[in-house]
Structure 1
Amino acid sequence: MAAMAGERSERTYRLEPLDDSGIFLGLGLTQCALIGGGLTVGVAALTAGVVLPVAAVPVLVAALVSFTRLGGHPTWEWVPLLAGWSWARWRRGRQWVAPLPLWPTGDAAAPMPPCLAGLDIVGIDWRAGSTLGAIRDRHRHTLTAVVPVSGPQFVVAPRPEQERLLAGWGDLLGQYAVERGVVTHLSWSDLAQPSGLGDHLAWIDSAGRGTPNPVAVDSYRQLLELGATSAINHQVVVSITVARDRLARHHSRTNRGDEPLQRALITAVEALLRGLQSADLAAGDPHDPPGLQRLIRTRIDPLDARPRPRHGRLVDRLAHLRSSTAGPMAVEGDWRHLRVDGAYHRTWWVGTWPRMAVPPSWLEPFLSGGGVTRSMTVYFRPVSTFQSRRRIERDLVKLESDAATKQDKGRRVDARHRRATQALLDREEELVAGYPEMGYVGLVCVSARTLEELDEHAEIVEQLAREAGMDLRLLDARQDLAWAASLPLGLAPATLLAL
């Protein structure tokens, strides 16, 4: 008994299911609008003296669109999808090409495509002699800073150490879930690229290392060729975004410039660095403006991102870029992919997270497998205690009312409905215990040099996601906006900001 009492139970993690209960009897807003519109038109037609078979056509069409599936989507989803696609093609066009100046323009900001419109890079005086780079969104009135981050070997750490590291990351996020906080969202973004072990192969072929042993060289080369398919290089950054509309009112009245927002960003970055250190994560200095320019160029064409040379000219080792050339040169959008400069991109959002409880390192096979170039970005939106309590009460009332309506009409309350209710009750208990709520959304972007390669790599990533318990949903007709949101530039999806 003493031995059993001394055993430690391993902690698992359960992710909250996506709320798809709808607004009435499981029907979404678009479905209710379609059915209501069909009934209205049908009744109006009958009132006007139209024969019943003809008057019933709008009702039948509305029911058909609301309850059938077409091309892997519910048919009703095609209505806003096609409308948005047509509007985007009319407003933004299918292709965009950066204007080329006839003479040097100095240090002007890079022209941006419509999906990145309003973004530029600014420098903020930070610590003594250093500059904090920030991505300014002139449309949303936000500033975003980006911090490169690395950590211990999480996968090989003991289970208690993994749980401790995750608890530290949770504490870091929880400090921003406060009333009237200036931080609107945070994100982490991991760019994974096959490394190819090129440095090791170059070392084998280099001179000046004595007389090599041919047998040992051949054996080492075979080992490198075998490991090249699984060697992955990760570049992880954490971004933090502050918004002007969250500043104190007296700042908004007295100063409409960016100075109060810049001070708020500096304060948020300092708190982020302290939190990362407390979570045992190694954080570098936030990117300065040239660092942000290099980051943008790397994400625009990750297939062309090569390690900096260790020898040669200083300008080559620093990978110097001008601000006027940091953005994309050409963008071409399609229904299922986006071409930016010389790379094709395809972006999904994580529609379903694992339904079962998972261990701390459950995401590692997805992040490190496949041998393809891809990025994963997860946005977190801190939710204050007051907002979280109101949302829980609202959703519980909706689910209970929906269940009562189904029972009155003789319909059963299914397991999905019961699980959603239980998830809200669990969330309420966690909130009372002092654990703040955090809205989150994940985006996955695969990059390739050709369309054939993109399709092949997309199948690999989708299979890896299924093995990890995730359901990736392709963002058809919105690939330009999806790709922009997958960049660590603070462009959180609108669905997250609407929480």
Structure 2
Amino acid sequence: MPAANESDTGLSPVKLSRLSKRGVLLGLSVAQLIALAIGVASFIAGMMSGGTWMLYSAALWAPAVLIGFVPLGGRPIVEWLPVALHWTWRTMLGQTRYRARITRPRPAGTLALPGDAAALRQYADPVTKAVMVHDPHAQTLTALLEVHHSSFVLLDPGEQERRVQVWGRALATGCRSGRIARLQILERAIPDSGSGLAKWWAEQGNDDGSWVSETYKQLIDRAGPAGERHISTISVSLDMKAAARQIRAAGRGLKGAAEVLRQEMRTLVTALRAADLEPSDWYGPGQLSIMLRSAYDPEVSVALERAGGLGQDLATAGPVAVEEFWDRLRTDSGWHAVLWISEWPRSLTFPGFLSPVLLAGGVRRAFTLLCDPMRADQAARDVRKRKTEHISDRTQRQRIGQIEDATQSAELADVLQQEADLVSGHGALRYTGLIAITAPTSDELDTAVSTIEQAAVQASCETRRLVGQQASAFAAAALPLCRGL
């Protein structure tokens, strides 16, 4: 008798939208069109001038065609130019290196972080006792909590399907109010300090002094630091511009913004509990400071968890030194590299497809999913715009006799499916998947990156290293502050 597959037992496969690669005109990007225009103009000018001017013009149109259409690392060379130029400019200005000025106290209320995160401020909410992080440039206010949950892969398919449905409704709450700037789901795999096993033994064990209990305690002491622990957090960021009216009504300033954010926090907690998740109390300054310190100084994370009250000051939670390279980042006691999930599975897949990445053993990493909610009217306008552009491009290709390939047809089908979902009342979120990988040395980092890249292949995902922007990518992927790229 054939075994029942997952779809027969209640778990439905899903298909994720692919990243659109449609250009401005005939599949060409703006940069490619500019390079093409320069090449055509110089070629025509050389032909009209005649003689040796034709050879001189080749010095302009030949490189323009080369950088506009020759691929490098899967992208035309012309699309690498902004990244390379920005990296060169930052290197010349010394912005790729950071050293903490320990003799100069930082302004009160700052988080002591490098780069563009130096402007972040902390606000202690007197009601929830949570720490809220204010970004004065992006005009956002962020709070976070930890989420405990049962192992999804061990549930039966029917229960998995139910969990997927209620989790989707929980995410949809971020689209309804129009005041949420971003949701961040961060899942970290870190070495276990042994505190979890010790706590379990203290609560569940029978310490009667017998040989069995003594042996069990010794095993816990030895196995604890060698284990691995997974921590999941959810951060919610309030868009202070979109909520300006509600903030004014609540008292203006950070006090009014905190009141509005508390409303979104209560809504999120209710949605998480409805999804059979166990949210913790909202993080305070001490918990956030340990999380930030551990991200930049991974070697001290176990000691901080064991020490208890140490390292809980946000004013000193940042790194002492950061050095950014083209494809990696070096901080106090670790080397880091950030991968971007550039392609999600293109075929039908079942929930839990990220298990090879999330459960990869022996690699310290942080997986982040950035969710940018879109209001229903904005999402509808965006879908209509992309639908019109796809249809216009199809008409233009038919006019010039260009054959439409399967990728273009699949992208149009994704747009039509998104339109149908919006009509059915679903929310729209833009997803960005990032993986921050950490290792003690540069060589070990390369090995860990290869392991995660292979795990991503098993999950039917395509990853790309975010070269030239590793510092900002690390802040977005490893820190629970709803930072974007």
Query: Is the Cα–Cα contact under 8 Å of residues 185 and 235 in structure 2 kept in the other structure?
Result: yes
Distance verdict in 2 for CA 1:337–1:208, change over 3 Å: farther
**Which residue does the alignment assign to 1:265?**
261
Alignment check: 8 A CA contact 1:392 1:428 kept: yes
The question of whether the paired residues in 2 share the 8 Å contact of 1:335 and 1:478 is answered with yes
- 1:427/1:107 CA distance change after superposition, 3 Å: closer
CA distance 1:253–1:88, change in 2 (3 Å): farther
Distance 1:421 1:85, change over 3 A: same
Give per-residue Cα distances to partners, 1:378-413, cap 9 Å, x unaligned: 011111111111111111111111122222222210
Q: TM-score, normalised by structure 2?
A: 0.88
| Cα shift readout 1:16-62 (whole Å, capped 9, x = no counterpart) | 10011111111112111221233334445566677223224422222
Residue number among 329, 348, 358 corresponding to 2:349 in the alignment: 358
Equivalent residue, structure 2, for 1:121: 122
Candidates 259, 269, 274, aligned match of 2:270: 274
Q: Distance in 2 between matches of 1:480 and 1:116?
A: 10
TM-superposed CA distance for 1:293, in Å, is 1.0
Q: CA offset at residue 253 of structure 1?
A: 10
Query: What displacement does 1:364 show?
Result: 1.5
CA change 1:351–1:303 in 2 (3 A) is farther
1:238 matched to 2:234 = yes
- In structure 2, distance between residues paired with 1:106 and 1:54: 58
Residue among 82, 85, 104 paired with 2:84:
82
Secondary structure of 2:302's aligned partner: coil
Paired amino acid for 1:422? A
Note the 1:46-65 alignment, pairs <5 A: 51-65=53-67
Give the distance between the partners of 2:27 and 2:74, measured in 1 at CA.
20
1:385 match: 376
Contact 1:299–1:487 at 8 Å: present in 2 too? yes
Cα distance in 2, alignment partners of residues 410 and 167 from structure 1: 45
For the 8 Å contact 1:377–1:488, the answer to whether it is kept is no
Partner of 1:473, secondary structure, is strand
The correspondence for 2:170, drawn from 165, 169, 172, is 172
- SS of corresponding position for 2:121: strand
Amino acid paired to 2:60? P
The residue identity in structure 2 corresponding to 1:391 is D
SS in 2 for 1:144: strand
| Alignment partners' CA distance in 2, 1:245 and 1:309 | 38
Matched residue type, 1:270: R
> Aligned-residue CA RMSD in angstroms?
3.2
**Which of the residues 70, 74, 91 maps onto 1:68?**
70
Residues 411 and 298 of structure 1, relative CA distance in 2, 3 Å threshold: same
Q: Is the 8 A contact 1:379 1:440 kept in 2?
A: yes
Q: Any idea what SS the aligned residue of 1:176 has?
A: helix
Query: Letter of the aligned partner of 1:162 in structure 2?
Result: Q
Match of 1:313 in 2: none
Gaps of 5+ in 2: 202-206
Alpha carbons of 1:409 and 1:291: their partners in 2 closer, same or farther (altered >3 Å)? same
1:317 is matched with which residue? 308
Unaligned runs of 5+ in 1: 311-315, 495-499
Displacement of 1:116 after TM fit?
Answer: 1.9
The residue type equivalent to 1:11 in the other structure is S
Give the aligned partner of residue 20 of structure 1.
Answer: 21
- The 1-side partners of 2:282 and 2:153 are apart by 26
Change (3 A) 1:244 1:152: same
Equivalent residue for 2:457? Answer: 466
Taking the TM superposition and a 5 Å limit, the aligned residue runs for 1:205-244 are 209-211=209-211, 232-244=228-240
Who is 2:204 aligned against? none
The answer to whether the 8 A contact 1:144-1:489 is kept is no
Q: Is the 8 A contact 1:94 1:334 kept in 2?
A: yes
Percent of counterpart pairs with the same letter? 27
The one-letter code matched in structure 2 to 1:163 is E
Residue identity in the other structure for 2:418: R
Shift of 1:109: 3.4
Question: Would the aligned equivalents of 2:289 and 2:314 in 1 still touch at CA under 8 Å?
Answer: yes
TM-score, L = length of structure 1? 0.86
